[in-house]
Amino acid sequence: MRRRRGYSLKVKRGTILAGALAALTGALLLAGGGCRGRDEAASPSNTPPDHSQKSSSSSFLPFVSISFDEALERARAENKLVFVDVYADWCTWCSKMDEDVFIDSRVQAALLAFVPIKVDADKGGGRSVANRYRVRGLPAYLLVDGDGNVVGRFDGYWPVEPFLAKLGRAAGGRL
pLDDT tens-digit readout, 6-28: 544 444 554 444 444 444 444 33
Residue 50 scores a pLDDT above 90: no
The pLDDT tens digits for 141-159 are 999 999 999 999 999 999 9
Contact 91, 139 (CB under 8 A): yes
Sketch the domain layout of the chain as residue ranges: 5-33, 68-170
For domain 68-170, give the fold: Glutaredoxin (3.40.30)
Distance in angstroms (rounded) separating the CA atoms of residues 62 and 21: 43
- Flag whether pLDDT at 116 surpasses 60: yes
